[in-house]
């Protein structure tokens, strides 16, 4: 929302002086940790962890303990797919080559998660996983306009009814996805659902302001 301000912010990091704002370089540094751990078939690991609490006095770059990576998971893959798709969209007009890297990685993560869900058809996922799936579909549709992701978003959104609510305890929390779909302009999108998203986001913002 404030590109000129952030473009001039110097955080004195190794990437300072490149073609991207430092604040974006910082975000990509974290995101790229997960991209580099992506499995060959697309799965995203949930993170890394030392074998025990860090040894006294050791900084992160002095780690002497065994460090292990989590197995790839559906939830982490959905989260990553959405964030990587958003990064690719932002990078398209600024660093097309890097945008392609994240676009391809996001698609592989999403497809891996969808395939794993099919393999675990009898498993009931918690609402947080379903929300991450919904958000990833919204981000991928906004990125490329692929009707497959629009269809998945519409299939999994909770905002199709006449009185859309962004958050219902233990059922769904789709405020981020609603915001993305409300700001998307792609052929084939459901205009009524888009209006629902705008309405739900606006109402929530108004209630928060009143509170």
Residue 2 has pLDDT above 80, yes or no: yes
Averaged pLDDT for residues 89-102: 96
Q: Quick count: other Cβ atoms within 10 Å of Cβ 50?
A: 15
- What confidence tier does 154 reach under pLDDT thresholds 50, 70, 90? very high
Residue 204 has pLDDT above 80, yes or no: no
Averaged pLDDT for residues 170-179: 96
The pLDDT score that the predictor gives to residue 209 is 46
Residue 167 has pLDDT above 80, yes or no: yes
Mean pLDDT of the chain: 94
pLDDT in tens, 120-144: 989 999 999 999 999 999 999 999 9
pLDDT in tens, 34-87: 999 999 999 999 999 999 998 999 998 899 999 999 999 999 999 999 999 999
Residue 94 has pLDDT above 50, yes or no: yes
Q: What percent of the chain has pLDDT over 70?
A: 96
Q: Give the pTM.
A: 0.91
The pLDDT score that the predictor gives to residue 140 is 98
């Amino acid at each position: 929302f404030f590109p000129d301000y952030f473009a001039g912010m110097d955080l004195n990091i190794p990437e300072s002086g490149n073609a991207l704002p430092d604040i974006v370089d910082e975000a990509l540094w974290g995101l790229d940790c997960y991209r580099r751990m992506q499995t060959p078939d697309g799965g995203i690991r949930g993170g890394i962890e030392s074998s025990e609490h860090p040894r006294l006095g050791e900084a992160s770059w002095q780690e002497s303990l065994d460090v292990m990576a989590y197995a790839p998971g559906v939830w982490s893959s959905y989260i990553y797919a959405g964030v990587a798709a958003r990064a690719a969209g932002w990078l398209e007009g600024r660093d097309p080559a890097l945008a392609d890297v994240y676009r391809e990685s996001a698609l592989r993560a999403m497809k891996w998660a969808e395939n794993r869900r099919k393999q675990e058809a009898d498993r009931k996922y918690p609402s947080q996983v379903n929300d991450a799936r919904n958000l990833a579909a919204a981000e991928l549709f906004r990125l490329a306009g692929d009707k497959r992701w629009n269809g998945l978003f519409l299939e999994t959104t909770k905002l199709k009814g006449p009185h859309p609510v962004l958050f219902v305890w233990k059922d769904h929390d789709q405020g981020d996805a609603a915001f993305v779909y409300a700001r998307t302009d792609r052929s084939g999108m459901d205009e009524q659902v888009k209006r629902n998203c705008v309405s739900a986001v606006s109402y929530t913002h108004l209630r928060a302001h009143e509170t």
